[in-house]
Structure 1
C-alpha cells in the first residue's frame, strides 16, 4: 500500500469517526427528528456530501450511531473477554452487571441517552440492533446463565431468565435521572450498592429457578 493510500484511509476513518461522534451527541440532545444533516455537517466541520459518502443517508448515519451506542454499552469484545476468563459463572454475572451499571449511570458519553430515546420511542431503525448487535451478544450472556442454572441454552426457560436479569439493568438505561424524583434518587445511589443489589436479586432468582427444576 502506498503512503498516499494510507493517508487517505486514515483521513477517511478520522472523518467517519468525527461525523459519528458529532451525530451521536446531537441525536442524544435533540433526537433524531430534530437533528438535520446540516447541523451534523456544521459541527463536524465537513460538507454534506461526506455524510452520504460514509453513511449513505441520515437514516444510515442514525443506524450506525445506534450500533456504536450499543457497542459502547456492551461490546462483543468485552463479552468474549469475560467468557474466556476462568472465573466461576456467578463472578462473570457480577462483572457483567457491574459493567452494565457503570455504562448506564456512570461517567458516560452520548450512547446511553441515544439508546434511551430509541427504546422509549422505538423506530424502524431499532432493527439495526435487533439484526446485528443483540443476536451476536445473546449467546455469551445465555452461556453464563446456563452455567448458573444448569438450563440448556436452547430451552425457552433460559430466555425467561435472561429477561429477569437484563430488564432491571435496562431500566437504568431507559429511566434517566430527569424522568422522576424516584429515578433521580436511584441515579444518586452508590454504584456499588446498585451492583450488589442487582446481582443478589439476579442470582437469587436464577438459583431458585435452577433448584425448582431439580425438584420437579
Structure 2
C-alpha cells in the first residue's frame, strides 16, 4: 500500500468518525425526524456527498449511530469475554451487570440519549438495531442464563428470564439521559451497591424459575 493510499484511508476514517459523532449528538438532541442531513453536514464541516459516501443516506447514518450507541453501552466482544471465562455462570451474570451499571452511571454521552429516544419513540430503524446489534448479544446472554437455570435456550421460559434480566438495565440506560423519576435516585447509588442489588434480585428470580 502506498503512502498516499494510507493517508487517504486515514482521512476517510477520520471524516466518517466526525460525521458519526456529530450526527450522534444532533440525533440525541433533536431526534431522527427533526435532524436533517444538511444540519449534520454543517456541524461536521463536510458536504452532503460525504454523508452519502460513508453511510448511503441519512437513514443509513442513523442506523450506524444507533449501532455505535449500543456498542458504547455494551460491546459484543465484552460479552464474549464474560461468557468464555472459566468461572461459575453466576459470576458471569454479575460481570454483565457491572458493565451495564458502569455505562448507565457514566452517562452524559450522546449514545444514551439516542437510545433513549429510540426506545421511547421507536422508528422503523429499531428492527435493524435489533437484528445487527442486539440479537447476537442476547444469544450470549441467553447462554449465561441457561447455565444458571438449567433451562434450554430454546425454551420460552428462558426468554421470560431474559426480559426480566434486561428490563431494569434498559430503564437505567434510559434514565441516564436525565429523564426524571425514581431511577435517578437509584443511579446515584454506589456502583457496587447497585450491581449487587441487580445481581441478587435477578439471581433469586432465576433460581425460583429453575425450581418450577
* Aligned-partner Cα distance in 2 for 1:182–1:148: 30
Deviates more, 1:39-48 or 1:63-72: 39-48
Tell me if the contact between 1:116 and 1:174 (Cα under 8 Å) persists in the aligned partners. Answer: yes
Q: SS of 2:125's equivalent? A: helix
- For normalisation by structure 2, the TM-score amounts to 0.94
Tell me if the contact between 1:177 and 1:184 (Cα under 8 Å) persists in the aligned partners. Answer: no
The runs of 5 or more residues in structure 1 that have no matched partner are none
* Aligned-partner Cα distance in 2 for 1:193–1:152: 31
* Aligned-partner Cα distance in 2 for 1:69–1:164: 22
Q: Number of aligned pairs?
A: 212
Describe the superposition over 1:115-174 as per-residue Cα deviations: whole angstroms up to 9, x where unpaired: 011000000011111221112111110111011001111111111110111111111122
* Aligned-partner Cα distance in 2 for 1:87–1:159: 23
Describe the superposition over 1:40-72 as per-residue Cα deviations: whole angstroms up to 9, x where unpaired: 112212111101111111111101100111111
The runs of 5 or more residues in structure 2 that have no matched partner are none
Query: How large is the Cα RMSD of the aligned pairs?
Result: 1.5
Match of 2:29 in 1: 29
Tell me if the contact between 2:104 and 2:187 (Cα under 8 Å) persists in the aligned partners. Answer: no
Describe the superposition over 1:9-48 as per-residue Cα deviations: whole angstroms up to 9, x where unpaired: 1111111111001110111112112222222112212111
Match of 1:149 in 2: 149
Matched, 1:121 2:121: yes
